[in-house]
């Protein structure tokens, strides 16, 4: 179909390289004393920037150098596969590797650990197997960046080496203490196979890369003792400073099937005491992994430091559920005088609660970025193919694009959006304006690299009269999406995007909305958002689920926004301005590289208008 209202042009972008040099004199006493420091920043054009310009690319330097959803079990061992090491000479298959998401060049990756901003550099630590593409041999890998998109890999920060972590260096967090002194808290698996909490500090605070880390011999600093289940006691959170000058951290655990976040407190960050009651617990939720606890401002998008309290903030508690392999969070009130967190009564506190992401997204971790006054969220997007596929291709696991998170003005949930730095990778752009879509119509968006793209679109509709009635028994959005899908004709919807589509639509992954009339009155509507992988690939043996969530949005404007990041084997979608987010991992066989296509579609009886669509080809990120 010939479309006349698509506008195409190319964005050419040149950026200078910022190199920062640090000359710092720090006290030898790590924990208590601050220091004076001097910084100087220079702007320079280096050889690689010039080469990138000549090749028609934009290269943004980041380094300071002399230069119920099913996922793979995190801790499942594959002894027969551990010896199948993907050495440096082994071919790493590029089909389905991402272009602008973070992933190591080879091998297995899972949880993001202790992301932080320190002296002008973003640090990302993550669980990594340096020996193969399955879980095992886990170390804390370490990469650095100046923009959260382009990354330089350093040597692992932590590896099993001492009695308190000889059987594993598992997840944890980083906290920057006063005086610019970072500390890692992490779970070690000790010589008795107990989960204990340890700390590590930089060997050289003069080094802004924090290349070397030291694990002092006074570890562990938190022992489960006899009161805590030593096999379910892990993932210490970023610490916060309380009004009484004590540091606090929470550690995920369970008591039988009651999930809980144990609270520990310390005067000096070395000697920790368990508070009598957990910060929060919920029956029948099972083991809580990777707990995250932080404040969000009532006003605006700016983030606040983890230690901030007061009436002008709410608090967020997020937990990753070992039993279901997805996460949920609540928004509520933290009472520092009594060390209790009480969720607001605006969402479920349990398995059916709010999620950051209703798809492939787990073990998330946030941090406060003091440079840009924002809270940034990382999450692991696991593979949905088989273990044998991962071993064959030589890699497994990516990180979702880091997201800025802030409190929705309604105070009931969070909003999320890809960090602004991602926009620097946008290249050629096409636009679609006022394109009407009648029932059964789809229109291809041509002129971009559809396998590696960023798409923002606003859909509109003139009336909601044709919306179908919502069945009050539909409490599970994923089940509704599975039942109705993108092909089933509706009243208002399904409408949205067909991503990673093959030429004849043998393969495609639809990301779409469907609008229903609510139970109470004609003006109350329910918005369903879906990302459906069932038609994503012709290959057998893949996990191809439907993912879905409801979108709490005011439809009085008769408009619905959607943004999708498409990157070969991952589609991250943000519905309603970031109210509902879904990440899908897919493995097309035909819709790959230049053979991938992108469409807008409508299968509802109510005509839909593409008010405004921007789609960009995306450059690949620089990951070394």
Active site residues: 111
Alpha-carbon gap, residue 139 to 129, rounded angstroms: 6
Phi-psi map region of 293: left, alpha, beta (phi>0 left; psi -120 to 50 alpha)? beta
Phi and psi at residue 465, in whole multiples of 5°?
-60, -30
Alpha-carbon gap, residue 278 to 21, rounded angstroms: 44
Q: Tell me which long-range contacts 521-525 makes (C-beta under 8 A, separation of at least 24).
A: 525/464, 525/467, 525/555
Give 458's Cβ-side CA count (13 Å radius): 10
Q: Which of 333, 185, 308, 159 is nearest to 252 (CA)?
A: 185
Phi-psi map region of 558: left, alpha, beta (phi>0 left; psi -120 to 50 alpha)? left
Alpha-carbon gap, residue 358 to 549, rounded angstroms: 6
Alpha-carbon gap, residue 12 to 428, rounded angstroms: 8
- Within 8 A by CB and 6+ apart from 236, the residues are 172, 173, 185, 186, 187, 197, 222, 249, 250, 251, 264
Q: Which of 213, 197, 189 is nearest to 118 (CA)?
A: 213
Q: Give the ranges where 329-443 is alpha helix by DSSP (H).
A: 387-393
What tokens were used for 201?
């500090």
Are 10 and 450 a contacting pair, CB within 8 Å?
Answer: no
What tokens were used for 502?
């093959």
Alpha-carbon gap, residue 204 to 124, rounded angstroms: 18
Sign of CA dihedral 193, 197, 202, 208: positive
Are 441 and 601 a contacting pair, CB within 8 Å?
Answer: yes
Between strands 468-469 and 509-517, the pairing is parallel
Strand, helix or coil at 25?
A: coil
Q: Which of 392, 399, 385 is nearest to 72 (CA)?
A: 385
What tokens were used for 318?
């997020």
Strand, helix or coil at 105?
A: coil
């Amino acid at each position: 179909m010939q479309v006349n209202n698509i506008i195409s042009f190319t964005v050419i972008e040149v950026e200078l390289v910022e190199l920062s040099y640090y000359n710092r004199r720090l006290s030898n006493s790590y924990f208590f004393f601050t220091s004076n420091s001097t910084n100087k920043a220079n702007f320079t054009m280096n050889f690689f920037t010039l080469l990138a310009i000549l090749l028609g690319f934009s290269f943004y330097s980041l380094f300071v150098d002399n230069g119920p959803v099913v996922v793979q079990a995190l801790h499942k061992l594959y002894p027969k596969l551990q010896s199948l090491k993907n050495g440096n000479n082994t071919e790493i298959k590029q089909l389905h590797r991402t272009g602008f998401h973070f992933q190591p060049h080879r091998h297995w990756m899972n949880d993001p650990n202790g992301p932080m901003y320190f002296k002008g550099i973003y640090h990302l630590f993550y669980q990594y197997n340096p020996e193969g593409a399955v879980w095992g041999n886990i170390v804390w890998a370490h990469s650095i960046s100046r923009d959260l998109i382009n990354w330089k890999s350093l040597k692992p920060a932590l590896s099993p080496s001492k009695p308190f972590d000889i059987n594993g260096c598992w997840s944890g967090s980083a906290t920057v203490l006063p005086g610019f002194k970072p500390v890692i808290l992490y779970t070690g698996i000790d010589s008795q196979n107990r989960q204990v909490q340890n700390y590590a500090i930089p060997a050289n605070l003069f080094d802004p890369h924090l290349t070397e880390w030291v694990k002092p011999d006074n570890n562990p600093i938190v022992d489960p003792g006899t009161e805590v289940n030593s096999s379910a006691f892990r993932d210490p959170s970023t610490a916060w400073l309380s009004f009484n000058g004590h540091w606090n951290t929470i550690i995920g655990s369970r008591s039988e099937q009651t999930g809980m976040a144990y609270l520990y407190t310390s005067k000096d960050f070395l000697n920790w005491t368990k508070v009598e009651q957990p910060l929060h617990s919920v029956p029948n939720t099972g083991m809580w992994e990777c707990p995250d606890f932080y404040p969000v401002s009532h006003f605006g998008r700016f983030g606040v430091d983890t230690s901030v309290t007061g009436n002008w903030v709410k608090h967020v508690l997020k937990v990753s559920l070992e039993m279901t392999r997805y996460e949920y969070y609540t928004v509520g009130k933290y009472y520092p005088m009594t060390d209790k967190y009480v969720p607001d009564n605006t969402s479920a506190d349990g398995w059916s609660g709010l999620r950051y992401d209703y798809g492939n997204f787990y073990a998330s971790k946030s941090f406060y970025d003091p440079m840009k006054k924002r809270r940034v969220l990382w999450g692991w997007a696991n593979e949905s193919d088989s273990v044998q596929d991962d071993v064959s291709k030589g890699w497994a696991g990516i990180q979702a694009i880091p997201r800025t998170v802030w409190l929705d003005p309604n105070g009931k949930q969070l909003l999320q959006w890809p960090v602004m730095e991602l926009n620097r990778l946008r290249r050629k752009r096409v636009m679609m304006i006022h394109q009407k879509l009648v029932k059964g119509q789809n229109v291809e968006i041509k002129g971009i690299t559809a396998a590696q793209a960023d798409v923002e679109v606003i859909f509109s509709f003139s009336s909601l009269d044709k919306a179908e009635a919502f069945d009050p028994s539909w409490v599970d959005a994923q089940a509704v999406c599975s039942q109705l899908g993108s092909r089933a004709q509706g009243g208002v919807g399904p409408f949205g995007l067909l991503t990673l589509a093959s030429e004849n639509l043998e393969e495609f992954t639809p990301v779409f909305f469907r609008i229903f009339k609510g139970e109470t009155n004609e003006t109350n509507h329910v918005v369903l958002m879906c990302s459906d992988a069932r038609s994503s690939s012709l290959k057998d043996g893949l996990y191809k689920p439907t993912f879905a969530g409801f979108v709490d949005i005011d439809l009085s404007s008769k408009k619905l926004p959607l943004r999708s990041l498409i990157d070969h084997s991952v589609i991250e979608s943000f519905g309603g301005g970031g109210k509902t987010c879904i990440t899908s991992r897919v493995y097309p066989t035909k819709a790959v590289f230049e053979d991938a296509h992108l469409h807008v579609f409508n299968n509802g009886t109510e005509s839909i208008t593409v008010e405004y669509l921007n789609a960009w080809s995306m450059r690949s990120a620089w990951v070394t």
